[in-house]
Amino acid sequence: MIEFYNVNLDINRVGILRNISFRIVKGEFTFLIGPSGAGKSSIIRMIYMDVFPISGMVVVDRYSSAKIRRREISMLRRKIGVIFQDFKLLTDRSVFDNVAFSLHVVGERNKEIKRRVLKVLAEVNLSHKRNQYPDELSGGEKQRVAIARAIVNNPIIVLADEPTGNLDYASSVEIMNILERINKQGTAVLMATHDAALLKKYSHRQISIDQGVLNKK
Amino acid sequence: MIEFYNVNLDINRVGILRNISFRIVKGEFTFLIGPSGAGKSSIIRMIYMDVFPISGMVVVDRYSSAKIRRREISMLRRKIGVIFQDFKLLTDRSVFDNVAFSLHVVGERNKEIKRRVLKVLAEVNLSHKRNQYPDELSGGEKQRVAIARAIVNNPIIVLADEPTGNLDYASSVEIMNILERINKQGTAVLMATHDAALLKKYSHRQISIDQGVLNKK
Amino acid sequence: MKIWFSFIEGIRNIKRAKLASTITITSVAFAHLLIGVFLLFSVNINQIIGDVRSKIELEVFLEADLSVKSGRSVEKKIIGLEGVKDVKYISKEDAAKRFQEEFGRNIYEVLTFNPLPSSCTVKVKKGYRNYSFIKKLSTEIGRIDGVDEVKYQKQILSLIDRYITIVYAIAAAAGIILIIIAIVLLYNTIRLTIYGRKDLIDIMKLVGATKTMIKRPFIVEGFVEGLFGALIASVILYGSILLIKRYIYPYVVNAVEIYIILLISGATIGIIASGMSLVRHLKEI
Amino acid sequence: MKIWFSFIEGIRNIKRAKLASTITITSVAFAHLLIGVFLLFSVNINQIIGDVRSKIELEVFLEADLSVKSGRSVEKKIIGLEGVKDVKYISKEDAAKRFQEEFGRNIYEVLTFNPLPSSCTVKVKKGYRNYSFIKKLSTEIGRIDGVDEVKYQKQILSLIDRYITIVYAIAAAAGIILIIIAIVLLYNTIRLTIYGRKDLIDIMKLVGATKTMIKRPFIVEGFVEGLFGALIASVILYGSILLIKRYIYPYVVNAVEIYIILLISGATIGIIASGMSLVRHLKEI
Ligand SMILES: Nc1ncnc2c1ncn2[C@@H]1O[C@H](COP(=O)(O)OP(=O)(O)OP(=O)(O)O)[C@@H](O)[C@H]1O
Ligand SMILES: Nc1ncnc2c1ncn2[C@@H]1O[C@H](COP(=O)(O)OP(=O)(O)OP(=O)(O)O)[C@@H](O)[C@H]1O
Ligand SMILES: [Mg+2]
Ligand SMILES: [Mg+2]
């Protein structure tokens, strides 16, 4: 499902990742851990093909970083739900429309869009904020909108970049429950996190990186 | 130093805070805790006079929310270091210039600016990234720039809105050490946080809010 | 993505970015006001010059003692010449009548004989009303037997013809510069408004929207704003022309074609400017 | 904040927001190109009309048998009239000489006597070269004893005077519309570029910068970009005029004042547009 083969990544001629290889299979739940600046977000960006390796290869679903074409990148991204570390919400539309956008992109019918968006907003406890705009939300609420948008589409992979960084412990556990549930339904989840408490509570596989290299355990 | 007297806050006619009263004295270190959406960031915004109560009064230093004038707001803000939850970095200038900006605002001499910026960047472990732009930083690195900017000015109050949300435990402890040190030098610190581990380790006073009202302990 | 969603999005975007769309519409309106004023100006100047030219005629005085029959034959010969639109023969008697009309006295009361010569008034066809042709024509007519003298408004004609090419050249240059300026300014405006939404475009890409999906609403938006701006310009121009006609200069010419040109131009520029700006922003991935 | 820091910031901002400053400079340049073309056009049209008018003169034919002495006295009387610039007396002898020059034959060889009348050529002062005045002057001169007939280029004069007011009115209207359009478009452009930096301005406010501190660099930026844009327009115009002078129309007039007006206008509009846009964005707190 996700495979890294000897991946090296430079951005602006600065070395970010060195010789990374790992594999995540269908339906797996994996933590991505490491100190600030280690390269966790960069790994996630390579999976949704926002940046490309200077050598080595990233394979996701049936697409390879070596030969994926522009249109295919869009197709791939529709199958991946990404919770961005900085949320990346569309500031000019409401919570509802932010979440609905992913469904409009795949051409879903209006009625179905409404049903699914309301359902997922309820799951992240944001039904009452559905008509507010991102600037009118607290940090944690924005994060939950980002989560809702990432999972509304029934993706085959969810990439979660510190999805609980702005959430209290109770909310974090709720989010973890949602991620575990969609994981049970067959979705692979890769979650970058610093949250020691969560790491202790959930015993999923951990990929650990530091200064751009994989920690062998 | 910071006093809230029966403060009620509405934003866009939505009630955010109800009847909040508390007091933080000079040189105190206080945690602000509560679930997502409770109103922590809103309390911090009222302290740097970004929003105003619809009733009650906020007094900071010698300024009262009831009669502070525009120019005085700028003056007040120069004495307060704020670590914003969403960082609020100037994306069109380098890390160095972001931190230096606060010092230019108070008309500091160039040589002194250089000395102090370099010193504070070293404290947050970002000396090597000083010429990069915010878009080229990881989440945790951005957060550390925001921290550096907040403290470079030797403020009398530091308001930290989840300053460790994007940081691993080790980095969080380093940041806590910096905040504790400037607190020892007489700066009042108010820190909103979810981080259970930090709350356990540090036994400072806690102000807890939930759904816009203060929790009596 | 459903196409109708793109349309709805395009319309909604106009409301979402009120400042940007207001500015775009204002810019389109002003630029088209400029182009419209220029076009109306040209049409009117052209009309005025055409009016002056249409009044140009040659007066052909015939020899004093020429018979009516010979006069008529001169008339026929003139009609046969290239570029002649029509000829009016004025006999000695007609001239005398005219004298009576103009001066209120019968010429036979003043003099015992009629000294007025018979003459022809020659009008020239539309494309031939220029100095060099009329000069040629006048010598040609002068050579006809029985013609005494040919007169025409030499000075006005030579004046118009001396400066007309310069005026037209300058007007054409001004027109081209004007249109280029309008396009560049509009393109810049739309580019800036789209640049202001760069973050949103980037986010759309990240959640799997293809280029077409991102582009289409902007194109719709450009079309609507362009058309609307041009419409505002047209209404202002039309109103102004009516006012000018009424209070300042009743002969001012209004041409419907100009308004059609403006509307088409507004919509087209809106679409093209949006499209081009997007190409720049969508270049990377 | 130190003032020099504001200046350095202003200059740096131009580099920081390359797209925005390029667009602003282009817009200023184009808008001023427009204004410049209009000004040069007006100056030249004015020059052409002035040229035509300066050639207007009255020919005063004196009575056939008037003595040179009486002729000279008529000349003096004409000089005394209002609006007359100078009068040239042409005696019968002078006229004969002219005839010789023009037709290459001595008139006394053709005829036994000199039938040419003596005459005066009257030039009119600058402000008086219009149809209604010259008509009045001609009747006045006609009443002087010894004057037989007064001739002047009635048709050209009446043509110019009939249309000149319309042309001037249209030109003035076009000029005003042009300048308003230039200002609105520029204002919009600068407003959009500043709006694009709204987030940055908000952040500056949050870290304690006062309004003045935020404004000053933008004003510097507006000044520099405005001046630079106007400079580009001036260079293009100046170059075009030189080319036109050389290859198309050598009598084209170039006025230094226009370039000075353009540069001042560029800098001023830059400052005003920045200032006004900022007021809007800085309104809240
Ligand atoms: N555009 C860029 N140019 C230069 N360096 C960059 C760029 N983007 C990221 N980096 C650097 O790459 C390194 C890894 O960044 P990344 O965002 O992957 O870290 P991270 O593990 O997600 O950290 P965090 O936990 O703080 O979010 C960082 O040191 C960062 O400064
Ligand atoms: N502009 C606004 N309009 C309407 N509601 C708002 C606005 N800003 C904030 N709110 C609401 O006020 C409540 C408190 O927000 P605040 O940001 O203070 O919460 P918080 O305690 O900081 O939460 P978090 O831990 O998630 O950052 C939230 O429910 C939020 O939706
Ligand atoms: Mg990261
Ligand atoms: Mg908050």
Query: Count of alpha carbons within 13 Å of A91, Cβ hemisphere only?
Result: 12
Whichever domain contains D65, its CATH number is: 3.30.70.3040
**What would the two tokens of residue D199 be?**
């987030």
Which residues 6+ apart lie within 8 Å of C282 measured at CB?
C201, C205, C211, C214, C215
Nearest CA to ligand 2 atom 30: A137
What pLDDT is stored for residue C110 in this prediction?
Answer: 65
Which residues 6+ apart lie within 8 Å of C143 measured at CB?
none
Tell me how long chain C is: 285
D9 CA distance to ligand 1 centroid (A)? Answer: 28
Q: Do D133 and D254 sit in the same domain of this protein?
A: no
Contact between residue B150 and residue B98 where contact means Cβ atoms under 8 Å apart: no
Q: Do C136 and C85 sit in the same domain of this protein?
A: yes
Q: Is the pLDDT of residue D98 over 80?
A: no
Chains C–D, number of C-beta pairs less than 8 Å apart: 100
Q: Name which residue leads in pLDDT, C193 or B84.
A: B84
The 10 Å Cβ neighbour count of residue A215 is 13
Mean of pLDDT values over A29-47? 95
Mean of pLDDT values over B23-31? 95
Q: Is the pLDDT of residue D169 over 90?
A: no
Q: What Rg do the C-alpha atoms of chain A give, in angstroms?
A: 17
Contact between residue D190 and residue D273 where contact means Cβ atoms under 8 Å apart: yes
How many Å apart are CA D112 and CA B123, to the nearest integer?
Answer: 119
- Give the distance from residue A197's alpha carbon to the nearest chain C alpha carbon, in angstroms: 30
Q: Considering only CB atoms, which chain D residues are within 8 Å of B84?
A: 206
- Cα dihedral A188, A191, A195, A199, rounded to 10, equals 30
Q: Do C267 and C247 sit in the same domain of this protein?
A: yes
Give residue C71's Cα distance to chain centre.
41
Q: Do D37 and D118 sit in the same domain of this protein?
A: no
Q: Is the pLDDT of residue A24 over 80?
A: yes
Of all residues in chain B, the percent with pLDDT exceeding 70 is: 100
Contact status of A169 with chain B (Cβ, < 8 Å)? yes
With tokens 């478009």, the residue in question is D185
How many Å apart are CA A65 and CA A24, to the nearest integer?
Answer: 16
Q: Do C110 and C47 sit in the same domain of this protein?
A: no
Q: Which H or E run contains A213?
A: strand A213-214
Mean of pLDDT values over B76-101? 95
How many Å apart are CA A47 and CA A176, to the nearest integer?
Answer: 21
What pLDDT is stored for residue C105 in this prediction?
Answer: 66
Locate the ligand 1 atom nearest the alpha carbon of residue A45 and give its number. Answer: 18
C-beta atoms of B77 and D5 within 8 A: no
- Give the distance from residue C184's alpha carbon to the nearest chain A alpha carbon, in angstroms: 28
How many Å apart are CA A148 and CA A129, to the nearest integer?
Answer: 13
Q: Do D144 and D182 sit in the same domain of this protein?
A: no
Nearest in space to A179 (alpha carbons), one of A170, A169, A191: A191
Residues with C-beta less than 6 Å from any ligand 2 atom: A 129, 132, 136-141, 166; B 11-12, 14, 16, 34, 36-42, 85
Q: Do C176 and C37 sit in the same domain of this protein?
A: yes
State if residue A170 touches ligand 1 by the CB under 6 angstroms criterion.
no
Contact between residue C115 and residue C92 where contact means Cβ atoms under 8 Å apart: no
Mean of pLDDT values over C167-188? 80
The 10 Å Cβ neighbour count of residue B179 is 23
With tokens 């910068």, the residue in question is D209
Contact between residue A168 and residue A6 where contact means Cβ atoms under 8 Å apart: no
Question: Which region holds residue C261: left if phi is over 0, alpha if psi is between -120 and 50, else beta?
Answer: alpha
Nearest in space to C245 (alpha carbons), one of C44, C3, C38, C55: C44
Tell me which of A13-22, A171-180, C52-61, C205-214 is least confident: C52-61
**What would the two tokens of residue C90 be?**
């004025």
Q: Do D185 and D140 sit in the same domain of this protein?
A: no
What pLDDT is stored for residue D285 in this prediction?
Answer: 41
pLDDT tens digits, residue range B112-141? Answer: 999 999 999 999 999 999 999 999 999 999
Locate the ligand 2 atom nearest the alpha carbon of residue B12 and give its number. Answer: 3
The three-state secondary structure class of B37 is coil
The three-state secondary structure class of B90 is coil
Q: Which chains reach chain D with 3 or more Cβ–Cβ distances below 8 angstroms? A: B, C
How many Å apart are CA D218 and CA D216, to the nearest integer?
Answer: 5
B129 CA distance to ligand 1 centroid (A)? Answer: 10
Give residue B193's Cα distance to chain centre.
11
Nearest in space to A143 (alpha carbons), one of A129, A124, A156: A124
How many Å apart are CA A56 and CA A70, to the nearest integer?
Answer: 20
C-beta atoms of B139 and A86 within 8 A: yes
pLDDT tens digits, residue range A117-145? Answer: 999 999 999 999 999 999 999 999 999 99
Residue of B7, B8, B10, B11 to test ligand 2 pocket, by largest number of atoms within 8 Å of CB: B11
Q: Name which residue leads in pLDDT, A202 or D114.
A: A202
Which residues 6+ apart lie within 8 Å of A75 measured at CB?
C208
C-beta atoms of C206 and A107 within 8 A: no
- Concatenating the DSSP letter of every residue in A62-77 gives TEETTT--HHHHHHHH
Mean of pLDDT values over C15-34? 88
Nearest in space to D120 (alpha carbons), one of D100, D161, D148, D160: D148
Locate the ligand 2 atom nearest the alpha carbon of residue A143 and give its number. Answer: 26
How many Å apart are CA C196 and CA C117, to the nearest integer?
Answer: 80
Q: Is the pLDDT of residue C149 over 70?
A: yes
Contact status of B114 with chain D (Cβ, < 8 Å)? no
Q: Considering only CB atoms, which chain C residues are within 8 Å of D32?
A: none
Q: Considering only CB atoms, which chain D residues are within 8 Å of C48?
A: 163, 166
Mean of pLDDT values over D237-263? 90
How many Å apart are CA B32 and CA D252, to the nearest integer?
Answer: 77
- Give the distance from residue C137's alpha carbon to the nearest chain D alpha carbon, in angstroms: 21
Strand order in the sheet with B55-60: B14-24, B2-11, B55-60, B63-64
**What would the two tokens of residue A17 be?**
């990742």
Q: Do C66 and C206 sit in the same domain of this protein?
A: no
Q: Considering only CB atoms, which chain B residues are within 8 Å of A33?
A: 168
Nearest CA to ligand 1 atom 27: B139
pLDDT tens digits, residue range C75-122? Answer: 898 998 998 999 998 888 888 887 777 666 677 776 677 777 888 899
Last residue of a domain, one of C97, C120, C152: C152
Q: Name which residue leads in pLDDT, C19 or C238.
A: C238
Nearest in space to A73 (alpha carbons), one of A94, A50, A44, A40: A50
What pLDDT is stored for residue C231 in this prediction?
Answer: 97
Instruction: Please give the sequence-ordered ranges of beta strands (E in DSSP) within C171-262, or none if there are none.
Output: none
Bridge partner residues of D58 (DSSP): D122
Residue C46: which domain range? 2-51+160-284
A165 CA distance to ligand 2 centroid (A)? Answer: 16
Q: Is the pLDDT of residue B88 over 60?
A: yes
Q: Name which residue leads in pLDDT, D174 or A157.
A: A157
Confidence band of D53 (pLDDT split at 50, 70, 90): confident
Antiparallel, parallel or unpaired: β A63-64 and D57-62? unpaired
**What would the two tokens of residue D200 be?**
């940055």
Contact status of B75 with chain D (Cβ, < 8 Å)? yes
The sign of the CA dihedral D19, D24, D25, D29 is positive
What pLDDT is stored for residue C41 in this prediction?
Answer: 82
B87 CA distance to ligand 3 centroid (A)? Answer: 14
* Residue of chain D minimizing CA distance to B49: D206
A24-28, C200-204, D28-32 — which one is most confidently predicted on average? A24-28
Confidence band of C217 (pLDDT split at 50, 70, 90): very high
pLDDT tens digits, residue range B31-45? Answer: 999 999 999 999 999
The 10 Å Cβ neighbour count of residue D98 is 13
The 10 Å Cβ neighbour count of residue D216 is 19
With tokens 């797209």, the residue in question is D19
C-alpha distances (whole Å) from C226 to each of C179, C269, D24, D78, D188 are 15, 7, 21, 64, 16
What pLDDT is stored for residue C285 in this prediction?
Answer: 41
Residue of A141, A145, A175 to test ligand 2 pocket, by largest number of atoms within 8 Å of CB: A141
Q: Is the pLDDT of residue D115 over 80?
A: no
C-beta atoms of A85 and B166 within 8 A: yes
B81 CA distance to ligand 2 centroid (A)? Answer: 21
What pLDDT is stored for residue B133 in this prediction?
Answer: 96
Q: Which chains reach chain B with 3 or more Cβ–Cβ distances below 8 angstroms? A: A, D
Q: Considering only CB atoms, which chain A residues are within 8 Å of B144?
A: 36
Which of C16, C23, C24 to probe the D interface (max D CBs under 10 A)?
A: C23
A46 CA distance to ligand 3 centroid (A)? Answer: 13
Q: Is the pLDDT of residue D149 over 70?
A: yes
C-beta atoms of B82 and D207 within 8 A: yes
Locate the ligand 2 atom nearest the alpha carbon of residue A168 and give its number. Answer: 25
What pLDDT is stored for residue C230 in this prediction?
Answer: 96
How many Å apart are CA A37 and CA A43, to the nearest integer?
Answer: 12
C-beta atoms of D211 and B84 within 8 A: no
What pLDDT is stored for residue A152 in this prediction?
Answer: 96
Confidence band of C248 (pLDDT split at 50, 70, 90): confident
* Residue of chain B minimizing CA distance to D198: B90
What pLDDT is stored for residue B28 in this prediction?
Answer: 95
Last residue of a domain, one of D134, D152, D170: D152
How many Å apart are CA B67 and CA B53, to the nearest integer?
Answer: 12
How many Å apart are CA C95 and CA D239, to the nearest integer?
Answer: 59
Confidence band of A217 (pLDDT split at 50, 70, 90): low
How many Å apart are CA B84 and CA A119, to the nearest integer?
Answer: 32
Q: Which amino acid is at D230?
A: A
Q: Do D176 and D245 sit in the same domain of this protein?
A: yes
pLDDT tens digits, residue range A61-107? Answer: 999 999 999 889 999 999 999 999 999 999 999 999 999 999 998 88
Q: Do chains D and A touch (3 or more CB pairs under 8 A)?
A: no
- Domain tally, chain C: 2
Nearest in space to D94 (alpha carbons), one of D123, D110, D118, D69: D118
Q: Is the pLDDT of residue B57 over 80?
A: yes
C-beta atoms of A34 and B168 within 8 A: yes
Q: Considering only CB atoms, which chain B residues are within 8 Å of D204?
A: 90, 101, 105
Nearest CA to ligand 2 atom 22: B41
- Give the distance from residue D248's alpha carbon to the nearest chain C alpha carbon, in angstroms: 9
Q: Do C170 and C258 sit in the same domain of this protein?
A: yes
Query: Count of alpha carbons within 13 Å of C115, Cβ hemisphere only?
Result: 5
pLDDT tens digits, residue range B194-212? Answer: 888 899 999 999 999 999 9
Which of D14, D194, D207, D284 to probe the B interface (max B CBs under 10 A)?
A: D207
A contact residues 98-127, partner B, Cβ 8 Å cutoff: none
Mean of pLDDT values over B153-177? 92
- Concatenating the DSSP letter of every residue in A134-177 gives GGGS-HHHHHHHHHHHHHTT--SEEEEESTTTTS-HHHHHHHHH
Bridge partner residues of C131 (DSSP): none
Q: Considering only CB atoms, which chain B residues are within 8 Å of A161?
A: 139
Chains A–C, number of C-beta pairs less than 8 Å apart: 53
Last residue of a domain, one of C152, C182, C200: C152
Q: Name which residue leads in pLDDT, B104 or D180.
A: B104
Residue of B33, B42, B52 to test ligand 2 pocket, by largest number of atoms within 8 Å of CB: B42
Mean of pLDDT values over D182-199? 84
Q: Do D135 and D249 sit in the same domain of this protein?
A: no
Q: Is the pLDDT of residue C59 over 80?
A: yes
Range B53-56 contact pairs with CB under 8 angstroms and sequence separation of 24 or more: B53/B7, B53/B8, B53/B9, B53/B17, B54/B8, B54/B9, B54/B10, B55/B6, B55/B7, B55/B8, B56/B4, B56/B5, B56/B6, B56/B7, B56/B8, B56/B19, B56/B20, B56/B21
What pLDDT is stored for residue D104 in this prediction?
Answer: 66
Rounded to two decimals, the pTM is 0.83
Q: Name which residue leads in pLDDT, B76 or C183.
A: B76
Q: Is the pLDDT of residue D113 over 80?
A: no
**What would the two tokens of residue C203 be?**
């986010």
Of all residues in chain C, the percent with pLDDT exceeding 90 is: 21
Tell me which of D56-70, D173-187, D255-269 is least confident: D173-187
B142 CA distance to ligand 3 centroid (A)? Answer: 10
